[in-house]
Amino acid sequence: MEKLTHNDLLSLESYAVSRHQFRDDVMQYKKHRQVMLGENARLCFEDKKTIQYQIQEMLRIEKIFESQGIQDELDTYNPLIPDGRNWKATFMLEYSDIDERRKKVNELVGIEKKIWVQVDNFVRVYAIADEDLERADGEKTSTVHFLRFELSSMMVSALKQGDSLKMGIDHQHYQVEINVADDVRESITADLDDVIA
């Protein structure tokens, strides 16, 4: 999947005009790219469109309009766009109660390395977490992690042929396994390049 460039981005003025419609479109689009892993964990699969929205919002919030500032945002966010043989996702722990959240970030240390995807009967693929910076220590984890799942060409081929997909977590304090809905599977399979035989 191609990375974003300056030419893909709207100016602050243009974005201000189209922001509400752009945001609505992206929020609708994201519905088919999210997977709930139990009641308190969510995976949001990123691609060029979702990352463009993130960059546009950062440029707007920070009022960045100079070329180098825009390039800095592109350099920060472009690594979150999948490369054709992998998925990249934002993982979020969602606990609305502050006290429960404080307890869980201590209890769930290492959860980001226990998240997996499984294509049909292939082996599970565990997430490679937080390559940009460490978001956890030995005592607590973060509520947000950035993950990469590397898939083999055989897995990609199987997905392209419509094979099933499961996802889950096997942390000692949070265990879940789900079958991914067809609309989500199809959406994120489109991120993968066709396998050349």
Residues 40-62 have pLDDT tens digits of: 999 999 999 999 999 999 999 99
Average pLDDT over residues 149-175: 96
173 pLDDT higher than 90: yes
What burial letters (b/e) apply to 32-60, b meaning 16+ CB within 10 Å?
ebbbebeebbbbebbbbebbbbbbbebbe
Nearest alpha carbon to residue 54 among 82, 32, 33, 26: 26
- The mean pLDDT of 106-135, rounded to a whole number, is 90
Q: Which residues contact 165 (CB under 8 A, 6 or more apart)?
A: 117, 118, 119, 120, 159, 179, 180, 185
pLDDT of res. 22: 96
In the prediction, which pLDDT does 130 show?
85
pLDDT surpassing 80 at residue 97:
yes
Residue 69, pLDDT > 60, answer yes
Residue 137 pLDDT > 80, yes or no? no
Q: What is the mean pLDDT of the chain?
A: 93
Looking at the predicted structure, is the pLDDT value of residue 135 above 60? Answer: no
What pLDDT, on a 0 to 100 scale, did the predictor assign at position 136?
Answer: 58
| Interval 83-103 mean pLDDT | 95
d(CA 170, CA 114) in angstroms, rounded, equals: 5
SS3 content of the chain, % helix, strand, coil (to 5): 40, 25, 35
Tokens, residue 44: 């949001």
First to last CA, the chain: 19
In this prediction, residue 139 carries a pLDDT of 80
Instruction: Tell me the pTM.
Output: 0.90
CA 194 to chain centre: 21
Structure confidence by residue, pLDDT tens digits, 13-35: 999 999 999 999 999 999 999 99
DSSP string for 109-176 = TTGGGSEEEEETTSPPEEPEE-SSS----SS---SEEEEEEE--HHHHHHHHTT--EEEEEEETTEEE
Model confidence at 144, pLDDT cuts 50, 70, 90, reads very high
